[in-house]
Amino acid sequence: MAALAGCSSETEPIASSVNGTAATPATTSAAPVTTAPAPIADDATIRRLCNTIADLGNSNNFDPDANLAAGQRGELIVDPKFSLPGRGLVTAAGAASAAPGPDTNIDIAQAQLDFLDACGDKYGDGPW
């Protein structure tokens, strides 16, 4: 009985490369590269975020997505006086996204004010 090509139990030799040397099989074991956002420490960026959150509050903007984005930027600030209220804004925006309503709007407004208190403590009265 003839054996089918490629079905033998013997190990087949590795294919030769163009120059006649044994080629090694290519392996791809690279893990996907993920990059964490860079921490924020410069005053200009923090001041811009202070103004962004002030604008959201002044326009009664309780949109969960807009506040979530601002809060996530706030969480990246190195100074915990900003990162903790930033986390509070993320939490409030997440709750508002899950269950919109007047109570969650109040929570977003309070989180905005908490962040703006940190802005006022560091930079004085706004606009910053």
pTM: 0.71
Using 50, 70 and 90 to split pLDDT, how confident is the model at 14? Answer: low
Phi-psi region of 101 (alpha: psi -120 to 50; beta: other; left: phi over 0): left
Q: Which pLDDT tens digit goes with each residue over 69-120? A: 999 999 999 999 999 999 999 999 999 999 989 999 999 999 999 999 999 9
**128 SS3 class:** coil
pLDDT at position 4 over 70: no
Supply the angle between the helices 43-58 and 80-98 in degrees, to the nearest 10.
Answer: 40
77 phi and psi, to 5 degrees? -70, 135
Per-residue buried b or exposed e for 86-108, using 16+ beta carbons within 10 Å of the residue's own CB:
bbbbbebbebbeeeeeeebbebb
